[in-house]
Amino acid sequence: MAEAVSHHESGDQYANAPLPQALTVGGWRVALIIASFSISLPTFLNGAQTALALGFWPAVAAAFLAGTFLCLGGCLTSLVAVRSRLNTYLLIRRSFGLKGAGLVNIIIAIVHFCWFGVNVSFLGDAVAAAGEGFGFSPDFATIVVAGAALMALTTLIGFRALDRLAMIGVPLLAAMILAVCIAAARRHGLVLSPPVTSPYHMTFGIALSALIGADMLTITTLPDLSRYTRTRKGAVLSMALSYPFTAPLLMAGAAIAALATGQTDIMRMITGFGFGAWALALLVMPTWTLNSLNLYSASLSLAATFPRIPRWAFILVGTVVGTGLALMGIIEGFIPFLVVLGVTIPPFAAIYVIDGWTRFRDMDAARSIEDLSGIHWPAICTWAVTSGLAAIALHYDFSVTTVPALDAVILASGLYFALMQVAARRRSLLPA
């Protein structure tokens, strides 16, 4: 992530223009950054809950399929970015129009705020568990409010330094997950079957959709990173070296620990295996950094939509909204939240990928972002109809492919193609 931020800083002058070839890097560097995104507490929780519902091998299979799906999606969004050298905002703006892109930015910012609430909940649990290890019981709500305030402060004045710490914090978290996995297997043995009375109930398709949904925001906004990849081959390589490996590996670790202990809370596992309160403190750093990144990304999206409002105001709004969600218990609805992401976010990427290979395929990238319409209605209608139908299908537990996220991608792609054909036919009938 540090490389990503440093590259963004050197390329800030190209936030509204194609990135020059001179600023590009090898695909393996992007792969390392993307792989680091998968090593997080939400990923562990997602894996643990999936394993307790399905068992070890089905959970790992779901993770592998999710990694493959995310790899394919990442290849498509990355190739569009490498071809055009445009960031996510510009790709969305040319597909949805100037005002339409504002709507998309607001939705993406809201998702970032929700993720802020999820992660600050993890922070509250980690600090509370560490406090118990030191002999006192801190209040969860107090920790969440104080932690959120400090995260906002570091986002405002110290994000760059905190992001460098992430290069230490991510490997430490990976090592801690591995240690918990080994300790669980030694104490309880290798358990592969789910408990008879599991508190988590989901089908294989819902589990797969939740795993995909957890990373769909990353896949959709991947052009912010992948436009720095030097070649198209490097873009594909960066995807092949990340999700297909990290997703099943993280799932295997979370599944072994969860099935052996019957728990999903890594903080409780750490204290139960006697690693000490210091180990819990290590969990704070990557969580802190990830949440600062959520605030940072959300503020950029909203600042691009409302340029007259200072970015710090959006950081404060995001902090208040995310903290409120954490106190209301957003973590309790973690899997449904991921499933909803899996059907609402993919259509954005599907639309700008289709445009990248059709409408703007042979157009100069700089020219493609000039003289844009206010709203590109085929794109807006596609997202609205797809999200609405997907939400109804989720409510009635209906799925064509058994994977709601895949249903959303197929529906969005087919509908957008159809609407574009109708629009082209109408233009051809207009008098010259």
Tens of pLDDT, residues 131-148: 776 677 788 899 999 999
Whole-number pLDDT of residue 174: 82
Q: Which pLDDT value is given to residue 145? A: 95
Residues 6+ apart with CB under 8 A from 357: 80
Per-residue model confidence as pLDDT tens digits over 157-186: 755 555 565 566 677 778 888 899 999 999
User: Which range has the worst mean pLDDT, 325-334, 344-353, 413-422?
Assistant: 325-334
Which tokens is 347 given?
């259509």
- Return d(Cα 31, Cα 239) in angstroms, integer: 6
Query: What is the pLDDT at residue 11?
Result: 43
**What pLDDT is recorded for position 356?**
95
Burial class (CB in 10 A: 0-12, 13-18, 19+), 375: middle
User: How large a percentage of the chain has pLDDT more than 90?
Assistant: 44
- In this predicted structure, the answer to whether residue 8 has a pLDDT above a threshold of 50 is no
27-37 vs 2-10: helix crossing angle, rounded to 10: 120
* pLDDT confidence bin for 232, thresholds 50/70/90: very high
Is position 34 within any domain?
Answer: yes
Domain that holds residue 241: 2-425
* Residue at 220: amino acid letter: T
Cα dihedral sign, 37-192-265-283: negative
The answer, yes or no, to whether residue 5 has pLDDT greater than 70, is: no
Helix boundaries (H) for 241-376: 243-261, 266-272, 277-305, 311-327, 334-344, 346-357, 365-368
Per-residue pLDDT, averaged over 101-105, amounts to 91
**Quick check: 211 pLDDT over 80?**
yes
Average of per-residue pLDDT across 382-386: 96
Residue 35 reports pLDDT greater than 80:
no
Determine the Cα–Cα distance for residues 47 and 342; give it in Å rounded to an integer. 16
Q: Per residue in 337-371, is it b (16+ CB within 10 Å) or e — as a string?
A: bbbbbbbbbbbbbbbbbbbbeebbeeeebeebbee
pLDDT at residue 13 tops 60: no
- CATH code (residue 172): 1.10.4160.10
Query: What are the tokens at 269?
Result: 């596992």
| Contact (CB, 8 A) for 123 and 402 | no
Say what the pLDDT of residue 162 is.
Answer: 54
**Domain count of the chain?**
1
Average pLDDT of the chain, as a whole number: 86
* Domain-located, residue 205: yes
With a CB cutoff of 8 Å and minimum separation 6, the contacts of 396 are none
Q: What does the pLDDT look like over 40-70, one tens digit per residue?
A: 788 888 999 999 999 999 999 999 999 999 9
**Does the predicted model carry a pTM greater than 0.85?**
no
Q: Are 266 and 180 in contact (CB under 8 A)?
A: yes
Q: What are phi and psi of 201, to 5 degrees?
A: -125, 120
pLDDT at position 6:
42
The pLDDT of residue 16: 77
Q: Looking at residues 271-280, what average pLDDT do you find?
A: 76
Answer whether residue 89 is part of any domain: yes
247 assigned to some structural domain: yes
pLDDT, position 7: 44
Is it the case that residue 349 has pLDDT exceeding 70?
yes
Per the CB < 8 A criterion, the answer to whether 27 and 228 are in contact is no
Cα–Cα distance for residue pair 25/123, rounded to 1 Å: 34
Is residue 431 domain-resident? no
At 160 the pLDDT is 56
